[in-house]
Amino acid sequence: MVGVTAAVELERLSAQYGGTPCLREISLRIPEGEMAALLGPNGAGKSTLLRVLTGRHPAAAGRVRLFGHDLSALRPSERAAWVAVAPQELTVPMPFTVEEVVGIGRTARLPRWTAPGADHRRAVEAAMAGMDVLELRARAFDELSGGERQRVVIAMALAQEPRLLLLDEPTSHLDVSHRLEILRLIERMNAERRLTVLMTSHDLNLAAEYCGRLFLLDRGRLVAEGAPEAVLREPLLREVYRCELRVRREEDGALTVRPVRPPRFAAGAAVPPLGERKT
């Protein structure tokens, strides 16, 4: 690993919300150019970790280094030139067009005293082309479907021309084909621009399929990391997600995780009240 810059390097990072610890002593490293996923149950700290990586949420202890630089030493415009975020959901309360929303990604790169120049237009154009939203450019963001919005949000982050792209649940409210499409486009950006990608996800199968490195969080702790087969192991997942599940290797080599439903309630038997059911 010597000589390869780490896009992200965390050293015993802890963070808290209103006094309650939500990240505990996390140390991890993501080499530049990789695609990685943060997994874990709801409330495990995945989104908080992304927020700490951009300085939006303060670290209580430990260090965050991006491309070898201390995050706390970076000015907001320098940080924004390296790290972009595609949020899970974006509310646009005014009638901005798709092209304008994508252009907002370049806020920190705009010249203060002159009109935006050719490089601005070129980057916005390239970002829209990369996410296949060129034909939507004049549409109002409000009017788009969920899949279109997600592509525009990622295009906004790409227009920032970052070296590290953070995605918060990029596929969570999309159907199967749109999930594949988003991940295919992200993978293309990763290959073409050598963009480092870190995404949070609840979709273990697609994360295993597209990301070479997985991080598994449980209640603020990093409990496993590495290649999909090292992280997606039955006993570990059972303990972290607190449910029964099966991991299997498909014929095409893909690793799949399937939740197993608890036993059926017998017909006619008294159904125990909710609080007493074992999950």
Partner 1 sequence: MNRPVRWLIVGVLVATGLALCLLIGPGGFGWPVWNSAIGIARRERVWAGFVVGAGLSTAGVLMQALLRNPLADPYVLGVSGGAALGAAAAIVLGLSSVAALPAAAFAGGALTLVLVYAVAAPRGRAPSLYALLLSGVIVSSVFGALLMMLISLAPAAGLRGITWWMLGSLQVPSATLLRGATALVAVGWAVAFVFAPEWNALTLGADTAHNVGVRAGAAVIGGLALATLTASAAVALAGLIGFVGLVVPHGARALVGADHRRLLPAAALGGGLLLAACDTLARSVHPSAEIPVGIVTALLGGPFFLYLLRRRKGWSA
Considering the complex, what minimum distance in angstroms separates the CB of residue 197 from partner 1? Answer: 15
Considering the complex, what minimum distance in angstroms separates the CB of residue 75 from partner 1? Answer: 8
Q: Which runs of consecutive H residues, i.e. helices, occur in 34-97?
A: 46-53, 76-82
Q: Supply the angle between the helices 146-159 and 118-130 in degrees, to the nearest 10.
A: 140
Supply the DSSP symbol for 193: H
- CB of 92 or CB of 216, closer to partner 1: 92
What is the spatial distance between Cα 88 and Cα 206, in angstroms, rounded to a whole number? 17
Do the beta carbons of residue 62 and residue 13 sit within 8 Å? yes
- CB of 59 or CB of 204, closer to partner 1: 59
- CB of 81 or CB of 223, closer to partner 1: 81
Residue of 132, 142, 122 whose CA lies nearest to 181: 132
Considering the complex, what minimum distance in angstroms separates the CB of residue 23 from partner 1? Answer: 18
Interacting residues with partner 1 (CB under 8 A): 54-56, 76-77, 79-81, 83-85, 87, 90-97, 100-101, 104-108, 110, 112-113, 115, 142, 157, 160
Residues 6+ apart with CB under 8 A from 10: 26, 27, 28, 29, 62, 63, 64, 65
Considering the complex, what minimum distance in angstroms separates the CB of residue 123 from partner 1? Answer: 13
Residue 130: in which H helix or E strand, if any? helix 118-130
- CB of 89 or CB of 229, closer to partner 1: 89
- DSSP β-bridge partners for residue 30: 8
Considering the complex, what minimum distance in angstroms separates the CB of residue 102 from partner 1? Answer: 11
- CB of 13 or CB of 85, closer to partner 1: 85
What is the spatial distance between Cα 29 and Cα 198, in angstroms, rounded to a whole number? 11
Do the beta carbons of residue 102 and residue 148 sit within 8 Å? no
Structure tokens at 189: 């950006």
Residue 218: in which H helix or E strand, if any? strand 213-218
- CB of 54 or CB of 171, closer to partner 1: 54
Considering the complex, what minimum distance in angstroms separates the CB of residue 99 from partner 1? Answer: 10
Considering the complex, what minimum distance in angstroms separates the CB of residue 69 from partner 1? Answer: 15
- CB of 49 or CB of 255, closer to partner 1: 49
Handedness of CA 80, 157, 128, 137 (dihedral sign): negative
